[in-house]
Structure 1
Amino acid sequence: MKIMPLQKRGISDSRLALGCMPFGGEWSHAPFTQAHVVEAERAVEAAQSIGITMFDHADIYRMGKAEEIFGRVLKGQPGLREQIVIQSKCGIFLPDGTLPGRFDFSYAHIMESVDGILKRLGTEYLDILLLHRPDPLVEPEEVAKAFSELKTSGKVRHFGVSNMNVSQIRFLERSLTEPLIANQLEMSLAHLHFVDQTVHVNQQAGTNVHFGEGLLEYCQTEDIQLQAWGPLAQGRFSGGSLKGEPERVVKTAELVQKLASEKETTREAIVLGWLMKHPARIQPVLGSANPERIKACQDAERQSELMTREEWYELYVSARGQALP
């Protein structure tokens, strides 16, 4: 079996991660309730029941409530913190009053954000910190200073990025002393640019592909873990409403159901298995707090191993709605 980059680095062997963005109810500053805490506890329990030991956060999720609720979960289960990997992100300011939404990779913001993350989670360290979205005003030397101090202090053990291309990663790496170990991007049967970028070389169709030339290959070469946000495509192919969806989505949902029936598995396992079949060893970050939906993903890794090349291409061609070549 091929080894994923985080396994190589001795950080995590969890092929799936649970995204904690749903924890906390509304995207507002309204306080969360005990019901929200119970919902998170059940989601974490469901994740653990299928072998998930990695949990993904961001300082902006539900205005910080997602991390605070997760902190309640950790407090209620002594010993859990050392059994799991916690990843969070910083660098985004949401619109506030007259101020616009904006990105910030300044030294001051990174340091302040990490302190806030740790306080909300009630933990002394993060396993992984990701820079959330590229900041046009980034000064790599400031990022390097923040990362170095966070590493030395023990507040953060590893670092990565999210939604970045090869040039942006290399630009940062020139100043960093710590390696970037992960890059989280949108990848799914509904967001196919990561595959299209490969097959559309020297084709006019490639002008409409927006993923990042050479990004998959660079991350594979440098052992940067590719993580997929939105891997289930909001349930389009696994039971969600298809009202108003284009024919290619409807047909692909039917194909997913057919394969799931033939293989006696779930539609979620087929959708994730397709993504995990890719040799880049992509790690899906599940975006659900529903325990049953989380458990429905249990068979994903096995299905990725069982999926034939023909089945993989059948799903890809169906989802893109256009024949190859």
Structure 2
Amino acid sequence: MKRIKMGCTTLSIPAMALGIMRMNQKSVPEAQVAIQAAYDAGINFIDSADIYGGGKSEEIFGQAFSQMQIKREEMFIQSKTGIVPGKRYDFSKEHILHSVDEILERMQLDYLDSLVLHRPDALMDPEEVAEAFDQLQAAGKVRFFGVSNFDTAQFKLLQSCLSQRLMFNQLQFSLKHTGMIDFGMHMNMVDKPSVDRDSQFLDYACLHKVTVQAWSPFQYGMFEGTFIDNDGFPKLNQELQKLADKYEVGKNAIAAAWILRHPANIQMLVGSMNPQHIRDSAKGAKIRLTRQEWYDLYLDAGNYLP
């Protein structure tokens, strides 16, 4: 498994993480098979969130992992908080501290390697968040911190009040969700792709050594479904298959390789609980697409160059 530097540190993390959003749909033995498949492929990074499966995903993970032979210190375990489903986003100190205690209990852990704030809270008080982070770190409950779906200004605002460096920003990025790179190639144009919807965060991340974590790497829209083997995307799947045959892997590996080819050292989140899909996706970390192959996939995904 390809390894990358975590944020501004010298710590090494895998270029892929296993997202456990769908683990609530699995039995404990099935969850163990998925975790083991990821671990055997070099993916020793787990990404979760307190809302996944209403907390059930973390419960299943906790039960499964506690019975496995993998040592805790061999895994990097991350969870997210801040969404109260259907009610509000909540970055209050009280909510953050309470959520972490519940996460640790569900996952049967003494600490999280990383805590990520899930979606921007309009009522965020950066100084209150800083108090929560300081307390969690001092208590040994969280080692590192990050955010998810933050634009550059939101990221900089929060960072200005923290004593810790934010290591991550989790953002949607895939062959069918390319906004973070479209506008740069359409600079000075007036077409739709020229609109910057992400406040140039990818460039900011490169400049300031923030690890971007790409979620929904095989999805189109927002959880509308996968583009892999989808009849609605024939040109893209034809190109994916062509390259899969060349590199002797599956289509998932090629779609993953496309993300990891970007020089920002992106970490990709694999959300599948299918051991075969996990293993195939992991093979993408060993593939370095040529520039033309990368652009061919970009164009066949429905994009165009000015």
Change (3 A) 1:309 1:175: same
TM-score norm. by structure 1 comes to 0.88
For 1:94, the aligned partner's letter is P
Aligned residues of 2:180 and 2:200 also touching (Cα < 8 A): no
Q: What are the residue-to-residue correspondences of 1:1-325 with 2, within 5 Å? A: 4-6=4-6, 9-25=9-25, 36-77=27-68, 79-95=70-86, 101-206=87-192, 209=195, 211-233=197-219, 236-239=226-229, 241-242=230-231, 245=232, 249-303=233-287, 305=288, 307-322=289-304, 324-325=305-306
Equivalent position SS for 1:288: coil
Change (3 A) 1:134 1:298: same
% same residue: 41
- State the superposition RMSD in angstroms: 1.8
For 1:287, the aligned partner's letter is G
Aligned residues of 1:197 and 1:212 also touching (Cα < 8 A): no
For 2:57, the aligned partner's letter is A
For 2:34, the aligned partner's letter is A
Aligned residues of 1:272 and 1:297 also touching (Cα < 8 A): yes
What's the offset of the Cα at 1:10?
Answer: 4.3
For 1:13, the aligned partner's letter is I
Structure 2 CA distance for aligned equivalents of residues 82 and 198 of structure 1: 40
Aligned residues of 2:171 and 2:213 also touching (Cα < 8 A): yes
1:33-78 CA-partner distances (Å, limit 9, x unpaired): xx61112111001101211000000000000011111111221025
What's the offset of the Cα at 1:7?
Answer: 7.6
For 2:54, the aligned partner's letter is M
1:85-141 CA-partner distances (Å, limit 9, x unpaired): 00000000112xxxxx31000111000000110111111100000000000010001
For 1:163, the aligned partner's letter is N
Structure 2 CA distance for aligned equivalents of residues 108 and 128 of structure 1: 18
TM-score norm. by structure 2 comes to 0.93
Equivalent position SS for 1:129: strand
Q: Which runs of 5+ in 1 are unaligned?
A: 26-34, 96-100
Structure 2 CA distance for aligned equivalents of residues 210 and 104 of structure 1: 27
**Greater mean deviation of Cα atoms: 230-239 or 277-286:** 230-239
Equivalent position SS for 2:24: coil
Aligned residues of 1:7 and 1:13 also touching (Cα < 8 A): no
What's the offset of the Cα at 1:320?
Answer: 2.8
Equivalent position SS for 2:23: coil
For 1:17, the aligned partner's letter is A
Structure 1 CA distance for aligned equivalents of residues 169 and 266 of structure 2: 10
